[in-house]
Amino acid sequence: MKTFGPLPAKGIVLAALLTLLIFALCLAIGPGAPGQQSISLGFPGWDILQLRLTRVAAAAIAGGALGLAGVLLQGLLRNPLADPFVLGISSGSTVGVMIWIVFGDVLLHSFAGQPWLMSFFSDGQSIPALAGALAATLLVFLLGRRKGILEPMTLILSGVVISTIGGALVMLLNNMVPYGARADILSYMFGYISEGTSRTLLLTASIALGLAWAGALTLGGAMNIASFSDAEAHSLGIKLSSLRLSAFALAALATAASITVAGPIGFVGLICPHLCRGIFGPDHRQLLITSPLLAAIFLMLADTFVRSTGAWFNGELPVGVITALCGGPFFLYLLQRRRIWM
């Protein structure tokens, strides 16, 4: 009897096929033309399809990355509440975008002589968001260590406090913005996916996700054992300091990929690992495969919904509204049914 026995290959292949099927389905749903009110099912012309492809791909990448980061962080922190955003990463990205909105013009002006730097920022909010997220990640990482090793409680408390400070900074900066610009911030804070996402950005994010995923798949077995106490995990042969460093770095990479294409989308990274644990059990080797797939499906469907229902809501909702409105009650349901562990 080996640890948990072999991975259920059939189930994983089925989950992958289901993900592809949903991808194709989402491509086939949506308004027939930009601004059009009616929703159609079927493959439209290449122009429209290209726009949809960008969006569905961005949703799949962002969702997959959040599902991956969620498993890594919940395992790393041994905490059911952990997701990329409890650690202050989302709040960091929002601060980055706020700084960009308030001081962006000044910065762009000073970059005017350097076209390569200008082109770097041509993707709007992505780069400032990424910079803010990485700064918050680095800060939480430095604060979350004790005696050179990441310590779950210290890490999570540092994250919560960084998150609060970030929230205060966002409000402070928001008061420096003219009224007209404030609506943008609000929708950014919920996360949204745009058909305007550049191919370079999509490619970069998918490479980042691929690397993070490949790296994470090698950690599953060790993460299972790291869910014992530190002393037990050590004595069973796990080098906790390097395991935690790897898990944290890979989660940060995945989160960065997600934030660059979709902004800070909540609940996906929190819920999907729980759901997969309920269906497939707590083996991290499986969760690291199934949770990203499920999260990609969830976000593709949620984004297809907001993309198709703009007419009902005076314009598109940020996709984060749907993930929170669907994900929140579902999480509470799982909690009541005690399907959340211990």
Partner 1 sequence: MDHNNPDFPSQAPAAEIALAADDLHFQYASSSPAVDGMTVPFYTGEMTMIVGPNGSGKSTLLQLLSGHLTPSAGTITAGGRNITRLNPLKRAALISYVPQAPQVSFAYRVQDIVAMGSWARDRAPGEKVAGDRPGADPVVQAMWDQDIHALAQRTYDELSAGERQRVAIARALVQDSPIMLLDEPTAALDIWHQLELLHHLKSLARSAHKAIIWVTHDLNHARAHADRVLIMHEAKLAAHGPAHQVLTPEILEPIYRVHVTVQDGKLTFLRC
Place of tokens 């796990």: 238
Nearest distance, CB of residue 278 and partner 1, angstroms = 10
Which residues, 6 or more positions from 318, have their beta carbon under 8 angstroms from its beta carbon?
187, 188, 190, 191, 192, 263, 306
**Among 7, 8, 187, 230, contact with partner 1 (rule: CB under 8 A):** 230
**Among 224, 246, 255, 304, contact with partner 1 (rule: CB under 8 A):** 224
Rg of the chain over all Cα atoms, to the nearest angstrom: 20
Nearest CA to 255 among 83, 78, 57?
83
Q: Which CB, 4 or 121, lies closer to partner 1? A: 4
Question: Which of 38-46, 65-73, 211-219, 238-246 is the region at the interface with partner 1 (rule: CB under 8 A)?
Answer: 238-246
**Among 234, 245, 249, 326, contact with partner 1 (rule: CB under 8 A):** 234
Q: Decide if residue 238 touches partner 1 (CB under 8 A).
A: yes
Q: Decide if residue 225 touches partner 1 (CB under 8 A).
A: yes
The interface mask with partner 1, positions 157-196, x = CB under 8 A, is ----------------------------------------
Largest CA distance in the chain: 65
Do 215 and 250 contact (CB within 8 A), yes or no? yes
Handedness of CA 122, 124, 125, 126 (dihedral sign): negative
Question: Which of 38-46, 99-107, 205-213, 224-232 is the region at the interface with partner 1 (rule: CB under 8 A)?
Answer: 224-232
Q: Which CB, 194 or 239, lies closer to partner 1? A: 239
Q: Decide if residue 1 touches partner 1 (CB under 8 A).
A: yes
Q: How many residues does the chain have?
A: 342
Nearest distance, CB of residue 244 and partner 1, angstroms = 13
What DSSP line would sit under 117-168, residue for residue? HHHHTTTTTHHHHHHHHHHHHHHHHHHTEETTEE-HHHHHHHHHHHHHHHHH
Q: Decide if residue 6 touches partner 1 (CB under 8 A).
A: no
Report the SS3 class of residue 146.
strand
Report the SS3 class of residue 238.
coil
Q: Decide if residue 276 touches partner 1 (CB under 8 A).
A: no
Rounded-to-integer distance, Cα 4 and Cα 81, Å: 25
Q: Decide if residue 232 touches partner 1 (CB under 8 A).
A: yes
Nearest CA to 66 among 252, 192, 201, 218?
252
The interface mask with partner 1, positions 72-111, x = CB under 8 A, is ------x---------------------------------
Q: Decide if residue 114 touches partner 1 (CB under 8 A).
A: no
Interface size with partner 1, residues (CB under 8 A): 28
CA angle 321–319–18, rounded 5-degree value: 120
Window 277 to 306, contacts with partner 1 (CB under 8 A): 277, 281-283
Rounded-to-integer distance, Cα 225 and Cα 264, Å: 31
Q: Which CB, 114 or 235, lies closer to partner 1? A: 235
**Among 229, 279, 329, 332, contact with partner 1 (rule: CB under 8 A):** 229
- Give strand pairing partners of 26: none
Q: Which residues are near partner 1 by CB under 8 A?
A: 1-4, 78, 221-222, 224-225, 227-232, 234-240, 277, 281-283, 341-342
